[in-house]
Amino acid sequence: MTDTLQVQGEFAPAESSFSAETLAAAVVADAASEAVTAEPNGFVELGLAPALVQAVADLGYTQPTSVQLKAIPLAMGGGNDSTKFIDLMVSSQTGSGKTAAFLLPVLHTLIKQQAEAEAEERAAFERAVAEAAERGEPAPKRAKRKDPTSSRNFKAATPGALILCPTRELAQQVAHDAIDLVKHCRGLRVANVVGGMPYQLQIAKLQNADLVVATPGRLLDLQRSMQIKLDKVQFLVVDEADRMLDLGFSDDLAELNQLTAQRKQTMMFSATFAPRIQQLAMRVMHDGGSSVQKVTIDSPQEKHANIKQMLYWADNAQHKRKLLDHWLRDTSINQAIVFASTQVECDGLANDLQQEGFSAVALHGALSQGLRNRRLMALRNGQVQILVATDVAARGIDVPTITHVFNFGLPMKAEDYTHRIGRTGRAGRDGLAVTFAEFRDRRKIFDIEGYSRQQFKSEVIPGLEPAQRAPQAPRGDFGGRGRSGGSEGRDYQSRDRRFGGPARGGNDRGGFGGGFAGRGAPAPRGGEGFAPREDRGFAPRRDGEGYGRKPGFGENAPRGFAPRGDMGAPRGADRGDFAPRKPAFAKPAGGKPFAPHDARKRPARPAR
């Protein structure tokens, strides 16, 4: 508004009525109108510390997201009472701002406690000065700050807050966000502890750390070597708790739970919380989770509105490779992540893309941490266009310029699909998730559909159509959990018989409501599976009759054939008239009784 008025003043005639007072009044009125119409800062209304509000504004955010709006007040639920905190279990979609939802309340409480400690220290010093003045003594001097990097002044770190992450990349991302939030906070230190980095460097960074973001393995190593003490931890946050509570981290988390038993609050954040994971999480909460507060926003079953999901069926790996090559030549791609199933596939695909002229690098757990950091930094700086990665990159990578995610290899777990596609379309941006699946992977696709309760619509590229017929979705809705290996879904027998496979579950132990109830027991006819054909003499493996050869046993068995369990029958015998097996150790014709060989009880041979 000011610039507009100045331009008008330059081109106005001499007799113009614009004056300095008029311009000033117009500017003030314009600013006042903008202040009235502007929406108030939502982070100020949440009651956060001014230093945190300023840092958030510097990052370009003035209004909290839905998960932040609900989780932050609950995490700060004590109000003026700094001793009252409640445990939280928060589930929200990827890219919804969960990191700030737990960092802001924890940092707010630490800043508040630091201010109180400084006030008490200042009051104690003033009392000491007053007492010295009453006695006529000189005022005491303030204690000099000791250099924490000097070995002479070494002191084990005693952080007040601990954040656990399942992967190194996620821990580094969370620590980076925490450092950005405390840049206006004086005296608050953040340390990052992950594996693959030099011990001495991390020990130096741990000195006087108030907030530690760590992976469990390296944290326990430093705790056992007395480089860090966890008896002062007040807040324990578990990010991506579903992966942390999985089999690989359950023991480490149980040990850390004992080491931080004095904490005031426990918070768990993740995009997915399976029922089994929720049961494990309750063991870490106070009082067995009786007072935990659950917050669910945008569950995985709700469709990502800003992420378009596409599915392409392929005949084989070569066909998938052609489909990927077609998509990577799309000019609308800014940066992309291509997910592979294994480390070998990841390296091979990255090398192929490099030879074809793409700016691509591989990222997986077998690489050194320094190389992983450099490649992620190159991705964030725009030096790399395509990142080929395993599921190690499915969590913790927040790069706004990632526009496409390609699932070249399908995830092992259906819930990991949600984390994969969440690398794009973050913070309200639009993204595209493309999945390539071979026909042998149809069960994984159905598992993903059952878990997310959303059905894929398969598409084709002209000239690259699959030779086989694409599998169709199961009948009915996705009311069950859809996980492989159980009977939680609908009638899946039609699609499996169409492709020549039995209607059974993903691990061959149970079907989706039909098929085999066990590995060998057939399901009865009636729409829930299929029954073996009776005219072929088929028998299941475990019924004691045999293995179902064609022609089968029983009525259709060939003449002179003995079942497996009765090998003593003569070959020329008729069906059903088998001779009984000869008893063991029978007396041979014209000789002495035959005794079994036993060296300890064998009688001495008589002399001739």
DSSP track, 438-454: EGGGHHHHHHHHHHHT-
- On average, the pLDDT of the chain sits at 74
Query: Quick one: pLDDT at residue 133?
Result: 86
Say which amino acid occupies 592: K
Tokens 């040990």, residue?
A: 255
Helix 168-181 to helix 50-58 angle, to the nearest 10 degrees?
Answer: 110
Say which amino acid occupies 191: A
Q: pLDDT band for position 359 (50/70/90)?
A: very high
Query: Quick one: pLDDT at residue 253?
Result: 87
Residue 405 reports pLDDT greater than 80: yes
Distance CA 458, CA 473 (A): 10
Q: pLDDT band for position 362 (50/70/90)?
A: very high
Query: Side by side, which strands form the sheet with 431-438?
Result: 360-363, 386-389, 335-339, 402-407, 431-438, 307-314, 458-459
Query: Quick one: pLDDT at residue 602?
Result: 55
Distance CA 457, CA 434 (A): 11
Higher pLDDT, 77 or 380: 380
Distance CA 144, CA 598 (A): 88
Distance CA 278, CA 275 (A): 5
Whether the CB-CB separation of 164 and 270 falls below 8 Å is answered with: no
Query: Quick one: pLDDT at residue 596?
Result: 52
What φ, ψ does residue 156 adopt, rounded to 5°? -60, 135
Q: Which two tokens stand for residue 342?
A: 């294994």
Whether the CB-CB separation of 534 and 513 falls below 8 Å is answered with: no
| Among candidate residues 311, 318, 315, the one with its CA nearest the CA of residue 406 | 311
Tokens 């002179």, residue?
A: 560
Is the torsion defined by CA of 282, 286, 292, 296 positive or negative?
A: negative
**Average pLDDT over every residue of 274-279:** 77
For the chain, helix, strand, coil in percent to 5 are 35, 10, 50
**Average pLDDT over every residue of 7-34:** 42
Residue 275 reports pLDDT greater than 60: yes
Distance CA 88, CA 8 (A): 57
| Among candidate residues 454, 31, 480, 88, the one with its CA nearest the CA of residue 269 | 88
Q: Which two tokens stand for residue 529?
A: 């599976």
Query: Quick one: pLDDT at residue 10?
Result: 37
Q: Encode burial over 75-86: b for 16+ CB neighbours within 10 A, e otherwise.
A: bbeeeeeeeebb
- pTM for the structure as a whole: 0.62
**Average pLDDT over every residue of 241-257:** 80
Distance CA 183, CA 189 (A): 10
Whether the CB-CB separation of 264 and 59 falls below 8 Å is answered with: no
**Average pLDDT over every residue of 367-390:** 90
Q: pLDDT band for position 220 (50/70/90)?
A: very high
Other beta carbons less than 10 A from residue 605's beta carbon: 6
Other beta carbons less than 10 A from residue 358's beta carbon: 19
| Among candidate residues 4, 28, 8, 7, the one with its CA nearest the CA of residue 17 | 8
Residue 554 reports pLDDT greater than 60: no
Q: Encode burial over 570-591: b for 16+ CB neighbours within 10 A, e otherwise.
A: eeeeeeeeeeeeeeeeeeeeee
State the Cα angle at 310 between 304 and 313, rounded to 5°: 145
**For 285-326, how does the pLDDT look when each residue is reduced to its tens digit (9 = 90+)?**
877 777 888 888 866 555 667 788 999 999 999 999 999 999
Distance CA 173, CA 201 (A): 18
| Among candidate residues 496, 487, 486, 490, the one with its CA nearest the CA of residue 478 | 490
Q: pLDDT band for position 40 (50/70/90)?
A: confident
Query: Quick one: pLDDT at residue 109?
Result: 93
Residue 347 reports pLDDT greater than 90: yes
3-class secondary structure, 405: strand
Whether the CB-CB separation of 111 and 51 falls below 8 Å is answered with: yes
Residue 20 reports pLDDT greater than 70: no
Residues, the chain, total? Answer: 608
Q: pLDDT band for position 150 (50/70/90)?
A: low
Query: Quick one: pLDDT at residue 151?
Result: 64
Q: pLDDT band for position 579 (50/70/90)?
A: very low
Q: Which has the minimum average pLDDT: 211-225, 402-416, 477-491?
A: 477-491
**Average pLDDT over every residue of 334-349:** 93
Q: Can you list the domains of the chain with their CATH numbers?
A: 1-38 (no CATH), 98-135+154-297 (3.40.50.300), 307-459 (3.40.50.300), 482-556 (no CATH)
Most confident of 176-185, 269-278, 396-405, 465-474: 176-185
Higher pLDDT, 546 or 288: 288
**Average pLDDT over every residue of 231-249:** 83
**Average pLDDT over every residue of 357-362:** 93
**For 315-337, how does the pLDDT look when each residue is reduced to its tens digit (9 = 90+)?**
999 999 999 999 998 888 999 99
Higher pLDDT, 162 or 554: 162
Residue 104 reports pLDDT greater than 80: yes
E strand segments, 431-493: 431-438, 458-459
Residue 586 reports pLDDT greater than 60: no
What φ, ψ does residue 483 adopt, rounded to 5°? -80, 145
Query: Quick one: pLDDT at residue 606?
Result: 59
